[in-house]
Amino acid sequence: MALEFSPETLKKFTATVARYPKKEAAMLPVLYLAQQEFGHLGPEAIQYVAKLMEQAPARVQGVVSFYTMYNTKPIGRHHIQVCRTLSCALRGAEQVTGFIKHKLGIECGQTTADGRFTLSEVECLASCGTAPMMQVNDDYFENLTEEKIGEILDGMK
Amino acid sequence: MEKLLLRNIGVPGSHTLATYQSRGGYASWRRVVESMKPEQLIEEVKASGLRGRGGAGFPTGMKWSFVPKDNPKPKYLVCNADESEPGTFKDRLLIEQDPHAIIEGTLIAAFAIQSHTAFIYIRGEMVFGTEQLERAAEEAYRAGLIGKNIFGSGYDLELIVHRGAGAYICGEETALLSSLEGGRGWPKVKPPFPATHGLFGCPTVVNNVETLAALAWIIERGAAAYAAMGTEKSKGTKLFSVSGHITKPGVYEVEMGYPFKKFLEEDCGGVANGKKLKGVIPGGGSMPVLKPEEIEKVNLDYESVAAAGSLLGSGGVIVMDESTCMVRAAANIARFYAHESCGQCSPCREGCHWMEKIFQRIEHGEGQKSDLDLILNISGNIMGNTICPFGDAAAMPAAAFIRKYRDEFEAHIADQRCTVRG
């Protein structure tokens, strides 16, 4: 069956589009809605958004691939994103990534076999004064130590 | 020094409307709507000397004055909350803890250009910040501070909090507008400038969070009070985000013209663990690094930092101690730009990756003697040859690291290994 929004999400879609001066301006928030609903933005989701937004699928694909926060493939329930840019690197970001790799037994860009975690390295998250840091899904975790990371990850089911 | 921008930070409930208003919040907004003409407001901000805090330092009142008054198209005001410059985290502090100050500034700026739709474009990763701004906007709507017929004046203004989706380039104003139009965040050629051809081809002003957060204070206390602070050309106060090898990292507000060395040693507690300073980036990852001897007489204002050969930029201060490998630091910054280049202009798209590759091979002991001049050559070919300032932002730090720490780069190449970290 082709992908489509639930009635509730469709309502959110209509309300979102209505707020903007032009429909196309709502592209980014609509893609977030689709990602939330479908888990990731695969070809079918892109087709569906293109239809809703009255845009060519290629244009939607171009937008999706431009931004780092849209996932074109399924990811784990908890997306660990370790900041690797200079301020964090000066305060041990590499050790943070190394520790997580070892603990979870995966490399960057991989997902654990149980689908619990995906590990990524990302660029500056504007949390440089509390380095090293990581973002897991929506939340920032700052001033990381190995002990702290262990507790955080163990608490995520 | 009296704090302007951080005045509400640390106050319990600072993010709520009740607390913000109990501390005088939105009084300036009321005054603007009830008793000021847009031209008067623009003149007041011009007189204050306020300059854009996103990095370029362009005079804010002048930017507003470029918006044509007789253009029949809608006008848009956009608050740039897409803070992504390496080493910069000042806007996030304001967004999370003082969202009403940003909203009030956004409303005031919108009124100055007589816009009826304003946007706050916030970085996609800042989910908590988005929630704080959305909650604050909702409160302000309910209180009649935003919406139709504000304070019974007949002036209507809508505010939309819009989340980006992860792209450093969207902090550049024309890229931000492309993104807000629902497309890839691709910068546009200037001119025409956004003031005449911005969002959907309509007159648009984009102002940084910190710039907007200063407006309520300027209206409340007057342009003269603001202009009384700072130096001749750099007025008022500025936020600095301090990170890296420093004893007390964090966000600081200082009067423009404050001595840089004193700031690092006294306000920030000096280099961490009693180590010696090796280099400091004064204005975010895009700006040339300065050596300890270069900051001796530098003050924290646009002109003084520029005279020392770097730029004040976003005020993102990254401190590096004597144990730092400068090849590694340069490679890190080069990787950032290689990752974030939007891909439109070939000098930047190709050059950033090329420079990163060379820096990495030097760090890993595979550098060649000719590599250093090659990087300088690539960097020189990027400078000034791209649509937006991103190219310069990638080229400047790369060249500065090599020019200032050339011995260290040469040692890496001669010994075929990292000579700092062993």
Query: In sequence order, what are the beta bridge partners of B237?
Result: B255
The interface residues of chain B toward chain A in range 123-142, judged by CB-CB distance below 8 A, are 123-128
Give the A:B interface size as CB pairs under 8 Å: 144
Which stretch of DSSP H or E encloses residue A135? strand A134-136
Do A86 and B200 lie within an 8 Å CB cutoff?
Answer: no
Mean pLDDT of chain A: 97
Contacts (Cβ under 8 Å, ≥6 apart) of B322: B275, B276, B277, B278
Identify from A75, A90, A134, A143 which residue to disrupt to test chain B contact, counting B C-beta atoms within 10 A and taking the largest count. Answer: A90
Do A86 and B91 lie within an 8 Å CB cutoff?
Answer: no
Q: Give me the pLDDT at residue B422, please.
A: 64
Per this entry, what is the length of chain B? 422
| Chain A partners within 8 Å of B125 (Cβ) | 69, 122, 125-126, 135
| pLDDT, one tens digit for every residue, chain B (422 residues) | 889 999 999 999 999 999 999 999 999 999 999 999 999 999 999 999 999 999 889 999 999 999 999 999 999 999 999 999 999 999 999 999 999 999 999 999 999 999 999 999 999 999 999 999 999 999 999 999 999 999 999 999 999 999 999 999 999 999 999 999 999 999 999 999 999 999 999 999 999 999 999 999 999 999 999 999 999 999 999 999 999 999 999 999 999 999 999 999 999 999 999 999 999 999 999 999 999 999 999 999 999 999 999 999 999 999 999 999 999 999 999 999 999 999 999 999 999 999 999 999 999 999 999 999 999 999 999 999 999 999 999 999 999 999 999 999 999 999 999 988 76
Alpha-carbon span A146 to A126, nearest angstrom: 21
**Which residue among A20, A63, A127 places its CB closest to the CB of B89?**
A127
Alpha-carbon span A153 to A155, nearest angstrom: 5
Q: So what's the ipTM on this one?
A: 0.97
Strands of B117-168, DSSP E: 117-122, 158-163
Q: Does residue A22 have a pLDDT over 60?
A: yes
Do A124 and B125 lie within an 8 Å CB cutoff?
Answer: no
Q: Does residue A1 have a pLDDT over 70?
A: no
Neighbours of B321 (CB within 10 A): 19
Q: Give me the pLDDT at residue A2, please.
A: 80
Alpha-carbon span B189 to B175, nearest angstrom: 10
Closest CA to B389 of B52, B44, B32, B31: B52
The interface residues of chain A toward chain B in range 50-89, judged by CB-CB distance below 8 A, are 53, 59, 62-63, 66-70, 84-87, 89
pLDDT tens figures, A77-120: 999 999 999 999 999 999 999 999 999 999 999 999 999 999 99
Closest CA to A86 of B88, B418, B422: B88
Cβ–Cβ < 8 Å for B59, B45: no
Q: Mind listing the domains of chain B with CATH numbers?
A: 17-227 (3.40.50.11540), 237-321 (3.10.20.600), 326-415 (1.20.1440.230)
Pairing of strands B76-81, A134-136: unpaired
